[in-house]
Amino acid sequence: MFERMRKLESRNPKFEEYTRYKIGKNKFIKWLGMEITKIEPGYIEAEMDFKEMHEQQNGWLHGGVSSAILDMVEGFASYSLVEEGKQVFTVEAKISYYNPGIASKFFSRGWVDKPGKRFHFCQGEIYYLNEQGEEVIVAKGSATMAVV
Amino acid sequence: MFERMRKLESRNPKFEEYTRYKIGKNKFIKWLGMEITKIEPGYIEAEMDFKEMHEQQNGWLHGGVSSAILDMVEGFASYSLVEEGKQVFTVEAKISYYNPGIASKFFSRGWVDKPGKRFHFCQGEIYYLNEQGEEVIVAKGSATMAVV
Amino acid sequence: MFERMRKLESRNPKFEEYTRYKIGKNKFIKWLGMEITKIEPGYIEAEMDFKEMHEQQNGWLHGGVSSAILDMVEGFASYSLVEEGKQVFTVEAKISYYNPGIASKFFSRGWVDKPGKRFHFCQGEIYYLNEQGEEVIVAKGSATMAVV
Amino acid sequence: MFERMRKLESRNPKFEEYTRYKIGKNKFIKWLGMEITKIEPGYIEAEMDFKEMHEQQNGWLHGGVSSAILDMVEGFASYSLVEEGKQVFTVEAKISYYNPGIASKFFSRGWVDKPGKRFHFCQGEIYYLNEQGEEVIVAKGSATMAVV
């Protein structure tokens, strides 16, 4: 089970509104069928039903879809901390593939692990729930987000 | 300009057929609208018209789309080297974002930088052509592919 | 505070002995002045007094020293899980620098986040204790270890 | 063979002096026995005799030493581009281990692959020369350097 280190404070009192505004302008997230289900300062949760379009050659969740999901939960976690009007850009990101993605639904969470004025170091994970209701990690990510 | 290190040899005489077979089974690549334009041993080229569905919140190429493209050119470059019937899986991948992706068409190339029996170390890049016809790098990637 | 996901089981009943044997053969760890203080299955703790030789140009802990420390706590965490006689090699590693390393003593921990037959996905962190006794993270790492 | 993309221009006419000054203040590089042999704008070469202190448990070049070498050739390549008085810090770095490091001498080069005002994206490689005088790559790296 995931354990967030500590509560973060946003520089934007209207952080949820601002983050939703940015999410609303993102075309790819809609097309992918991913839904943001929780927005807290420096923390995002999302979920996505697994559809045929998300498959790689073996019928599993495509690694590129996993990368895209992590980029978004990490990036919007970063957006939830910054001042109104600030932009967030991904500088770089790494993803490690822990388990094959075979499930009808995928969940993800992204968080700012270390906030800063110029950068946010973010982390994220994608998982599904097995028959026992336990989280099975599909992929873990780390990313550097620039605040501009 | 990109300069490949050296020619690689495939373990599969029908490498192009096998790689195309794997590409054909990949659902996500079709949905993304990405087309593989060259298959050589350990080397792949691809291109994709920029559509609204590929946009992040500023109207630029979505970082997750870039990750997905790199995952595919790197992964299929790896498939082009292995024996018939072998599988290739991404172990981990990193992407660095060099320039904003604003163009009507994006190109990419992926290559096996260091082949091995158990792993392939791959690299890739996404670029567009500016008005002078020069390549502008949008993102660079490196990935470890496991051969199983 | 760090929270390990779950207890791992070693494939080697004499895991501590075997890991200590490997540590003993490592010349660089001695020269660096780093000491392994705890060995559990898939988990390592270490510490190191900060000496002048560890400094980069500003007098802080050198990023290369941090990389080396993480490589060792992650690698030996991996060694603590494998069968007697097996070797562990770093395939790739990433490090993110969260805070400047300014302290008289540095601590680190490395753990296998996802074990497997062929690979271990590892993570690690370096930290010091501030005046309140709280951990200040200097660097976080993730690495893929191959088991051969 | 390595092929640099293009010549870069430094923002500092006395770039060599400034880079040497920073190298001179770095304690770890001396202890490691690494010598910088070339400084051009955005490009660094170095070499190091292999000594017992650099060994991991099999007698090969320690992965942490490789990380440290890359951090320095990449970081000083970055220093060679910035204005007098500016500082360069490693934000994050990745290293991939291509071949075991078994040689009496190791060479390395680091370069700024994409310069920018706030960041430099850098790459680097460590190699030795085999009996035919060909470069054998031990490790490749990519790093984000912040310019402050």
Strands (E), chain C: 34-40, 43-49, 88-97, 105-114, 119-129, 135-147
Give the model's pLDDT for residue D1: 37
Partner residue facing A64 (CB), from B23, B57, B72? B72
In a domain, B56, yes or no: yes
- Show residues of chain A in contact with D91, CB under 8 Å: 91, 119, 144
Give residue-wise pLDDT tens across range D133-148: 999 999 999 999 999 9
- Tens of pLDDT, residues D80-123: 999 999 999 999 999 999 999 999 999 999 999 999 999 999 99
pLDDT per residue over D28-68, tens digit each?
999 999 999 999 999 999 999 999 999 998 999 999 999 99
Task: Using a pLDDT cut of 90, give the percent of chain B over it.
Answer: 94
Q: What is the pLDDT of residues B123-145, one digit of tens each?
A: 999 999 999 999 999 999 999 99
In chain D, the number of structural domains is: 1
Is D73 part of any domain?
A: yes
Confidence of residue C7 (pLDDT cuts 50, 70, 90): confident
pLDDT values of chain A reduced to their tens digit, one per residue, 148 residues: 345 556 899 999 999 999 999 999 999 999 999 999 999 999 999 999 999 999 998 999 999 999 999 999 999 999 999 999 999 999 999 999 999 999 999 999 999 999 999 999 999 999 999 999 999 999 999 999 999 9
| Boundaries of domain holding D22 | 15-147
In the block, tokens 């404070």 appear at A9
pTM: 0.96
Residue C37 lies in a domain: yes
C144 chain-A contacts, CB cut-off 8 A: 96
Share the mean pLDDT of chain C: 94
Report the pLDDT value the prediction gives residue A7, as an integer from 0 to 100: 81
Q: Please report whether residue C9 resides in a domain.
A: no
Task: Please tell me the predicted confidence (pLDDT) of residue B38.
Answer: 97
Summarize pLDDT for C72-120 with one digit per residue, the tens: 999 999 999 999 999 999 999 999 999 999 999 999 999 999 999 999 9
Does a structural domain hold residue B6? Answer: no
Tell whether the model's pLDDT for residue D3 goes beyond 70.
no
CB contact at 8 A, A44 and A80:
yes
* ipTM greater than cut 0.85: yes
Tokens of A52: 């045929």
Beta carbons of B114 and D121 less than 8 Å apart: no
Q: Is residue C43 part of a domain?
A: yes
Instruction: Tell which residue, B25, B21, B16, B86, has the closest CA to residue B45.
Output: B16
Cβ distance of B144 and C144 shorter than 8 Å: yes
Q: Per the CB < 8 Å rule, is D119 touching A91?
A: yes
- Nearest chain A Cα distance for residue B148, angstroms: 13
Whether the per-residue pLDDT at C2 is higher than 80: the answer is no
Neighbours of chain C (3+ CB pairs under 8 A): A, B, D
Q: Which helix (H) or strand (E) holds D24?
A: helix D15-25
Task: Give all chains having 3 or more CB-to-CB distances under 8 Å with chain A.
Answer: B, C, D
Identify whether the C-beta of residue A51 lies closer than 8 Å to the C-beta of residue A104. no
pLDDT digits (tens, 9 = 90+) for B52-93: 999 998 999 999 999 999 999 999 999 999 999 999 999 999
Q: Which residues of B touch D144 (CB under 8 A)?
A: 96
Query: Which among D65, D87, D89 has CB closest to C68?
Result: D65
Contact (CB, 8 A) for A82 and A88? yes
Which of D23, D54, D64 has its CB closest to that of C71? Answer: D64
Whether the per-residue pLDDT at C4 is higher than 70: the answer is no
Q: Is B35 helix (H, G, I), strand (E, B) or coil?
A: strand
How far is the CA of D3 from the CAs of B5, B144, D82, in angstroms?
Answer: 9, 23, 23
CATH of the domain at C40: 3.10.129.10
In a domain, D38, yes or no: yes
Do C26 and D72 make contact, defined as CB atoms within 8 angstroms?
A: no
Establish if A2 belongs to a structural domain.
Answer: no
Q: For residue range B5-47, list pLDDT tens digits in order.
A: 568 999 999 999 999 999 999 999 999 999 999 999 999 999 9
Give all strands (DSSP E) within D50-98, no chain letters: 88-97
